[in-house]
Amino acid sequence: MPVRVLYHDKCFDGACSASLFCRFYRERIRGGVDFVFSGLLHRAGALFDEDQFDGDENAIVDFKYCSSPKVTWWFDHHQSAFLSPADAAHFEREQSNQKFYDPAFKSCTSFIAMIAEQRFGFDPRPVAELVHWTDIVDGAMYEDAKSAVEMKAPAMKLTMAIEAASEPDFVKKLIPLLAYRPLTKVLEEPFVASLLPPLIERHQRSIGILRQRTQEKEGTIFFDITDLDLEGYNKFIPYYLHPDSIYSVGLSKSSFRVKVSVGSNPWSKREPTVNLAKVCERYGGGGHARVGAISFDVTEGEAARQAAQEIVEELRASVRRET
């Protein structure tokens, strides 16, 4: 039976984590194995389906913990990694040496590389480029907002394609390449190269739309694009348009959810002080201290809008207190 790898879908770090896990597994655990990939998305309701865990082994990377005995490998770095205290306690009792968690890492890919090297003797040097760029992308470690929005680097173009491509199997075709080829070569693959021109055009259009829709007040940006097909927009555009901002709260919609995105400006001259993961957890979401999200059912637009407004007011109040 193949190994099933479940990864954070629509996410550069999620795809890279899956790819690096496969390379590590082949080189240090079991060679000659086939992999089957399943993307996971945060949504209202149950995140896991036991029927998905149908592999000889089942691995989850860059996504929340699952206590199912069928899950044999797990790596994550999100602060909100556990759905419940019971899941956290289950992980603490785990003795397999195949489930790992550390929220201090910028990316799950770099976390897997470190664990694979230190615990299993994996050589991370051939994947140094991948690890470097996942830390930059997932840790928002760009030099400035302009470089994050212009997306000149191959990793940025791949991030755009992963987040915005509508082809359901696009990421699954990409994963087997990422940990084995230079990113410039991955971009040259016909199924990738053909997507880029329309996505770049869409990206440029989204800058204009967000220029009209974003409003900044008391250091916090708010925007609502639930009436548009823009869920895969570049999350740094609001900070590019409003460089003096500290936080942003955005509403977007897809076929299966209404999403509240909550973030902080990586280039702000004023240090963010609110833990956004904890804010999002109160509404059933999560993330990191500097960025988080909440998923509502597609029918719960008003509940999502109310949550977004409450968070906006909370963040603006925190800015008022600090000035």
Cα separations in angstroms, 253 against 14, 15, 43, 224, 259: 21, 22, 12, 9, 6
Provide the pLDDT for residue 117. Answer: 98
Q: What is the CA radius of gyration of the chain?
A: 19
pTM: 0.88
Provide the pLDDT for residue 323. Answer: 76
Cα–Cα distance for residue pair 162/9, rounded to 1 Å = 8
Cα–Cα distance for residue pair 212/263, rounded to 1 Å = 19
Cα–Cα distance for residue pair 189/213, rounded to 1 Å = 35
Provide the pLDDT for residue 44. Answer: 67
Assign 4 to helix, strand or coil: strand
Residue numbers of the chain with a pLDDT score lower than 70: 44-46
Strand partners, 7: 39, 61
Provide the pLDDT for residue 298. Answer: 93
Give ∠ CA 8-14-20 in degrees, rounded to 5.
Answer: 135
238: which 2 tokens?
A: 């609001």
Query: Hey, what domains does the chain have and what are their CATH numbers?
Result: 3-193 (3.90.1640), 213-322 (3.10.310.30)
